[in-house]
Amino acid sequence: MSSKYHFELITGETPLSDVQQETLQASLRYLCSQCLPEIPNYQALKEPRGTDWLVDKMVVLAYLDNNLVGFISALSIPIPDSDDPIIHTGLTMVHPSHRRSTGLKQMMFNHLILHLLGKFPGGFWVTTLAEVISSLVHTSIYTINGFPSIEHNEPNQTHLRIAKEIEQSGSNDWPEGRVFMKDIDDQRYWHRDLERSKFYYDRLRNNKGAEQLLVAFVDPNIIRMAMKKKHNKDLVGKFSSLGVSEPSKL
């Protein structure tokens, strides 16, 4: 499957000058201004403060004709007494004119996952904190051992341990984070998997619309099967070069 988009990955290891960092952040904030009513000083959109601005972040940029039309970011959060961090999904921004029928979100997600599996070939734990039903469903479909999910409605000790770390990192439940909130009754924000959408809808409704934390494990075998199913030969080839080892243990 070919793509008209060009993708670039930026991490804390990417050598960027101060000017390049400022230019990158200005580009992210400009795209955000076309997607949200106001720009929050949040995660990858925070104003750079020294050379450690990107140290815990990963950002996949999507370009069309040299114009930034989308990005997806994630945060690396260390876990005490563990060699591997958890990966907390951050922001996803897509220009309004590229939101329908392009598969752009999925392609950005794939590039991020391939990067992370290169670092953690045995898989890794991921968290999503959202009230957007489609985001929760998407994460639950492409992961295993997720809580809460249709398959697991009770947390285990790993879920609880990770949730504790995320709780200390904050959430969207603050004034600037409100720009990300969506009406859970608006089915435009539901996933086409209606059973899973209804599952998260009920949990959000019972919690008066507050965000839901989903903790799950990214298994490289699940990702490989998903890529083969979508006939993405380019990404399957890149995935195969990574190798697969035993899953990460927390």
Domains of the chain and any CATH numbers = 1-121 (3.40.630.30), 124-218 (no CATH)
57-64 β-sheet, strand order: 6-11, 57-64, 67-77, 86-94, 124-130, 212-218, 144-147
> What are the residue ranges in the chain where pLDDT is below 50?
1, 172-174, 231, 243-249
Whole-number pLDDT of residue 65: 92
**In the structure encoding, which two tokens stand for residue 212, read together?**
């839901």
Whether the bond between 148 and the residue before it is cis, its omega within 30 degrees of 0, is yes
Provide the terminal-to-terminal Cα distance of the chain, rounded to the nearest Å.
36
pLDDT tens digits for 164-187?
A: 887 776 554 445 555 556 667 777
Q: For residue 57, how many C-alpha atoms fall within 13 Å in the half-sphere facing its CB?
A: 21
pLDDT tens digits for 45-70?
A: 876 665 677 888 999 999 999 999 99
Q: Quick one: how many helices (H) and strands (E) in the chain?
A: 7, 7
Residue 97 Cα distances to 31, 72, 104, 169, angstroms: 12, 17, 11, 33
